[in-house]
Amino acid sequence: MAFLSFLFRRLGLSLFVFVGVLILTFIVSRVIPSNPAALYAGARPRPEQVQEIEKKLGLDKPLSEQFRVYVGDLLVGNLGESYHSRRSINTDLRLFLPATLELVIAAVLIALVLGIPTGVLAGAYPRSPFDYATRFAAVAGVSAPSFWLALIAQFIFFSQLGWLPLGGRVSRDATLFYPIAAQTGFYLIDAAVSGNWKAWLDALHHLILPALVLSAYPVGITIRMTQASMLEVLSETYITAARAAGLSRGVILFKLALKNAIMPALTVVGLSFAYSITGAFLVETIFSWPGVGKYVTEAVLNVDFPVIIAVTLVVTLVYILVNLLIDLMQALLDPRVRLV
């Protein structure tokens, strides 16, 4: 019961934040561009042209009416049309968003699977060679520029070893001979659902390098966060009590201590997930990955407001969902949180 009311309060808060961002993006989109219609019309438009476009975009109506239309469109899921390419943003995002999400989710999973056990052991054996080695690796992972890592990874695994492809989501062969029937847009899921295992393997091959490169930062930060909070938790009396009760080291570290120590790591991984939706554009560019990062970067260069705003809203939504998820996880892990 306490949990349900906690859930509803958090949902209410999220809604509040989303409405706030909605209003803000509207204001920004109508105030900053001195003349949106001129932007839409392209280079050196005639005045009649601009007027016509203003009418078409509804810019001649009062602001309140414009806001109503803007929210109404969003409510039915219509994100509008790119000023630049005149394509529907919905269609574009249906293509780019799953690609990015697949990449970023893979990177985050790598971060959790690799970073948490490593951090636990580093925290359990402070000042050991393992601790020092992981500290070094973590700092390297956090501070190495992603484009540099990407180029090195391509050099080793593509040029030298020839184990993994250079870029793209699938190979030409896959597209031609065993294409993936798009449903969710997540190739690994779509291929698996249709039993297209050849394409599944091909998609996995393409995913490995960019996901690994993108995971360097979250892996590093997960290790550091987990290590630091383990160190703190392991000095608590309840850990001494668990040792005095004869519990095994494995149970103490990976059950009793980890449950107390995991939240900071989950929080930063969640935030780096949301950040990577747009922040992965360098990696996406180098690996020719058709993702949101690339898409929005182009939109920014073209001052393509509808696209920028649509992506902003999507990223906001992702941030809100991730925060909600983090809060829920915290409430599930810690019974005391449900009370606040």
Partner 1 sequence: MTLLKVENLHVQFTTPFGIVRALRGIDFELDKGDIMGLVGETGCGKSVTGRSIMRLLDENAEVTEGRIIFNKTDLLRLSEREMHAIRGDRIAMIFQDPATALNPLFTIGGQINDVLRAHSPAPAAQRRKATLELLASVGLPDPAQMMDVYPHQLSGGQQQRAMIALSLAAEPEVIIADEPTTALDVTIQAQILDLLRTLQRERAISVILITHDLGIVAETCQKVAVLYAGRVVEQGAVAAIFAGPQHPYSRGLLAALPRPGSRGTDLKVIPGNVPSGLERIDGCAFAPRCEFVMERCHRLQPPLFSLAAEHQAACLLHEDRVHG
Distance of CA 110 to the CA centre of its chain: 13
State phi, psi for 194 to the nearest 5 degrees: -90, 5
From 21, 144, 247, 324, residue interacting with partner 1 (rule: CB under 8 A): 247
In the complex, what is the shortest distance from the CB of residue 240 to partner 1, in angstroms, rounded to a whole number? Answer: 6
Binding status of residue 241 toward partner 1 by CB under 8 A = yes
In the complex, what is the shortest distance from the CB of residue 42 to partner 1, in angstroms, rounded to a whole number? Answer: 60
CB 234 within 8 A of CB 216: no
In the complex, what is the shortest distance from the CB of residue 321 to partner 1, in angstroms, rounded to a whole number? Answer: 25
In the complex, what is the shortest distance from the CB of residue 136 to partner 1, in angstroms, rounded to a whole number? Answer: 23
Query: Which range of residues in 116-124, 146-154, 188-196, 250-258 is near partner 1 by CB under 8 A?
Result: 250-258
State phi, psi for 247 to the nearest 5 degrees: -75, 150
Distance from first CA to last CA of the chain, Å, rounded?
A: 14
Query: Which range of residues in 70-78, 189-197, 205-213, 233-241 is near partner 1 by CB under 8 A?
Result: 233-241
Residue window 257-276: x/- pattern of binding to partner 1, with contact defined by CB under 8 A: --xx----------------
Q: Rounded distance, CA 255 to CA 252, Å?
A: 6
- Residue 2: partners with Cβ closer than 8 Å, 6 or more residues away: 338, 339
Residue 20, both tokens: 């706030």
Binding status of residue 125 toward partner 1 by CB under 8 A = no
Binding status of residue 132 toward partner 1 by CB under 8 A = no
82-110 exposure pattern, b = at least 16 Cβ within 10 A, e = fewer: bbbeeeebeebbeebbbbbbbbbebbbeb
Query: Which range of residues in 8-16, 57-65, 253-261, 299-307 is near partner 1 by CB under 8 A?
Result: 253-261
Instruction: Tally DSSP H helices, then E strands, for the chain.
Output: 17, 0
Taking the least distance from each CB to partner 1, the nearer of 58 and 335 is: 335
In the complex, what is the shortest distance from the CB of residue 241 to partner 1, in angstroms, rounded to a whole number? Answer: 4
Binding status of residue 144 toward partner 1 by CB under 8 A = no
Binding status of residue 240 toward partner 1 by CB under 8 A = yes
From 47, 62, 77, 246, residue interacting with partner 1 (rule: CB under 8 A): 246
Please tell me whether residue 162 adopts helix, strand or coil conformation: coil
262-299 exposure pattern, b = at least 16 Cβ within 10 A, e = fewer: bbbbbbbbbbbbbbbbbbbbbbbbbbebbbbbbbbbeb
From 44, 46, 172, 336, residue interacting with partner 1 (rule: CB under 8 A): 336
In the complex, what is the shortest distance from the CB of residue 333 to partner 1, in angstroms, rounded to a whole number? Answer: 6
- Per the DSSP assignment, residues forming a β-bridge with 88 are 81
From 1, 31, 245, 301, residue interacting with partner 1 (rule: CB under 8 A): 245
Q: Rounded distance, CA 326 to CA 35, Å?
A: 41
- Residue 22: partners with Cβ closer than 8 Å, 6 or more residues away: 71, 74, 313
Query: Which range of residues in 47-55, 75-83, 191-199, 254-262 is near partner 1 by CB under 8 A?
Result: 254-262
Q: Rounded distance, CA 246 to CA 189, Å?
A: 45
Taking the least distance from each CB to partner 1, the nearer of 126 and 179 is: 126
Binding status of residue 242 toward partner 1 by CB under 8 A = yes
Query: Which range of residues in 80-88, 145-153, 223-231, 236-244 is near partner 1 by CB under 8 A?
Result: 236-244
In the complex, what is the shortest distance from the CB of residue 337 to partner 1, in angstroms, rounded to a whole number? Answer: 10
In the complex, what is the shortest distance from the CB of residue 323 to partner 1, in angstroms, rounded to a whole number? Answer: 21
Which residues sit at the interface with partner 1, rule CB under 8 A? Answer: 236-238, 240-248, 251, 255-256, 259-260, 333-336
